[in-house]
Amino acid sequence: MIYKIAIGIAFSPNLKANLFEAIRAANMFGANLIGIHVGEESAEKKNKLKNLLQEAPEIENSFTITWKQGEPVDVILNTCAQENVDLLILGALQKENLYKYYVGSIARKITRKAPCSVLLLIKPSTQRIPCKHIVVNGLKDDKTAETIKYAFSISKDLQCKRVTIVEEVSQTELEVKVNDDKTLRKATIDKERIVTREEIRVNSILNEIDTKDIIVKKQSIFGRRGYSIGHYAKVKRADLLVMNSPAKTNLLDRVFPHDIEYILSELPTDVLIVK
C-alpha cells in the first residue's frame, strides 16, 4: 500500500504539470502528499504554489510542504527516510548528455539511493492521460516477483488493461557460435529451451496474481539487460515501464553501464522503480 507520496518541488516550467500528476496519484492511492523544496522559503514562492494549488485537482488527503536548505540529493533522500515515504515522484530529463551521464543528474542520483519506490516523469501533464500499456521486467532476480505483483496492482489502480512482462536473457546464455546449418539448429533449439524455461518461471509468479480483465503478454528478449527492455518499451510506446530497484552502483558502472543504468541515461517513457 502507498500511504505517503513525496514530490520534489522545483520552480521550473514543469512544476505545474508535476504537481498535478502528484496530486492525482495521491488521490488515486488515498495517500498523504508531501512537497519537498530545497532552497530558501520566500513569500513569492509560497504565493506561486498557492496559485497553482487553486488550479489543481482538489487534494483529498493532507498536503504539506517542507522547505529545507542543503545539497538537493541529501535533503530529498533524508526527508523521504524521515517521513517514511512510500513513493517519490520526480521530473526527469529524457536523455542525459555525456557530462550528466558520468556525473549523474539529481534525479538519477536520488533514484540509485532512494529508500522508497521512485516514479520518474518525462512528460508530465496537467490533464490525466489514460495509461494503456505497462511493461514490467521479468528477469530472473530475487526482487522480480514483488515487482510484477506491484505492476499489476498499479495497472488496476490506473485502469490499464494491458501488461507485458519482458524476460531479458543475456546473449551469453547462448553459448553456440553459429557458423553453419548444424550450429544454427543447435542455437535455435537452445533458444527455444531458454524461452520455455523463462515462461515457466514467470507463469509461477502469475499464478499468485489476479490478472482478470487484463491482457497479459510474456516476451523473452535476448540482449543486454536494461538496454533491451528500454528499447522494447520505447518501440511499443508503453505508457509506463516498471523496474526492480537498482543494486548498489559505483564509478565503474558509469564507465561500463549495466541493467538499469541504460534506463536512467535515456528514459524511454515514464519509469517506476520499485523498492
Q: Is 178 helix (H, G, I), strand (E, B) or coil?
A: coil
Q: Is 79 helix (H, G, I), strand (E, B) or coil?
A: helix
Residue 124 is placed in which grid cell? 508530465
Tell me the per-residue pLDDT of 93-125, one tens digit each, with 9 for 90 and over: 666 565 454 444 777 788 888 999 999 998 888
Q: Please state which architecture CATH assigns to domain 1-126.
A: 3-Layer(aba) Sandwich (3.40)
Q: What is the pLDDT of residue 247?
A: 67
Q: How far apart are CA 85 and CA 121, in angstroms?
A: 18
Residues of the chain with CATH 3.40.50.620: 1-126, 130-275
Are residues 205 and 142 in contact, defined by beta-carbon separation less than 8 angstroms?
no
Residue type, 147: T
| 5 pLDDT tier (thresholds 50, 70, 90) | very high
Nearest to 4 by CA among 102, 107, 83: 83
Domain 130-275 has CATH 3.60.9.10: no
pLDDT, averaged across the chain: 86
Q: pLDDT above 90 covers what percent of the chain?
A: 58
Nearest to 164 by CA among 176, 146, 151: 151
